[in-house]
Amino acid sequence: MKPLAALLFDLDGTLTDTDHLHEQAWIEALLPYGIQADHAYYQTHVSGKLNPDIVADILPQLSKAQGEAFLQSKEVRFRQMASNLPPIPGLGRIWPWAQEQSLGLALVTNAPKANVEHMLEMLGLQFETVIIAEELAAGKPHPLPYRTALETLGITADQAIAFEDSPSGIRSAVGAGIRTVALTTGHKIEGLEAAGATLVVKDFNDQKLWDWLDKQRQ
């Protein structure tokens, strides 16, 4: 196995806990269409998926233009609510650790570009590589976003570790051959493990993570 060269991060639920805000925004947006969504509905039909795919699945009656307008309104509502979110605990620990180790840092997300820019500015983070799935031919759970990140960084899958919080994101990273650490910010451990997570931790402060990272650097 080649030496570790980069850490690849999802955004929503991985860098900051946004799931509850996305859930609320989706619940509000779907009400006019007679859909009484709840937490279970959100996790089944929305979490970890690409926005256009979600609309095609649950609002197939909308035209392309109507779907785009719906999503724009929903994301505006999300950004209104996501004005001052704290980072996931321990992010301030793993970030400087990665820099000290001279590791590449990449963001791989299904989030729309406007949301990405909003949240990275809010968190004060800069990545050398940002992969936005909407700009690709396929989003998560397809492996393409993570494969694109590897190609952009010029590394192989065994040189990277991915951090995810949803089964969809885990399947994407694992499908690209990347060791994947799952955070339990929004989904149950069983679902994360079933999706193929190498390790499941509470957050970036979890000692299990640091013990495991030490082994990956050997």
Write out pLDDT tens, residues 85-117: 899 999 999 999 999 999 999 999 999 999 999
Of the chain, the end-to-end C-alpha distance in Å amounts to: 10
Would residue 164 count as lying in a domain?
A: yes
pLDDT at 216: 85
Would residue 136 count as lying in a domain?
A: yes
User: Tokens at residue 215, please?
Assistant: 């082994």
Note whether 72 and 132 are within 8 A (CB): no
| 102 plus 210 within the same structural domain | yes
Q: Which of 54, 81, 108 is the last residue in one of the domains?
A: 81
Would residue 178 count as lying in a domain?
A: yes
> Could you give the percent of the chain with pLDDT greater than 90?
84
Is 84's pLDDT higher than 90?
A: no
Number of domains making up the chain = 2
Least confident of 41-50, 59-68, 108-117, 122-131: 41-50
What H or E segment, with its residue span, contains residue 118?
Answer: helix 113-123
Q: Which of 42, 59, 81 is the last residue in one of the domains?
A: 81
Is 218's pLDDT higher than 80?
A: no
**Distance between CA atoms of residues 20 and 9, nearest Å:** 19
> Could you give the percent of the chain with pLDDT greater than 70?
99
pLDDT at 130: 98
Is 15's pLDDT higher than 70?
A: yes
| 194 plus 97 within the same structural domain | yes
Is 156's pLDDT higher than 80?
A: yes
Whole domain around residue 41: which residue ranges? 19-81
| 112 plus 74 within the same structural domain | no
Least confident of 89-93, 134-138, 205-209, 214-218: 214-218
- Confidence at 2, pLDDT banded by 50, 70, 90: confident
State the average pLDDT over residues 128-154: 96
**Distance between CA atoms of residues 95 and 105, nearest Å:** 9
Query: Which of 60, 63, 57, 27 is closest to 42 using CA atoms?
Result: 27
Just list the catalytic residues.
10, 12
Note whether 11 and 107 are within 8 A (CB): yes
Supply φ then ψ for residue 169, to 5 degrees. Answer: -65, -40
Q: Which of 81, 106, 127 is the last residue in one of the domains?
A: 81
| 70 plus 109 within the same structural domain | no
| 105 plus 211 within the same structural domain | yes
| 68 plus 90 within the same structural domain | no
Would residue 143 count as lying in a domain?
A: yes
Strands (E), 15-174: 104-109, 129-132, 160-164
CATH number at residue 162: 3.40.50.1000
pLDDT at 186: 82
Is 145's pLDDT higher than 80?
A: yes
Would residue 1 count as lying in a domain?
A: no
| 139 plus 193 within the same structural domain | yes
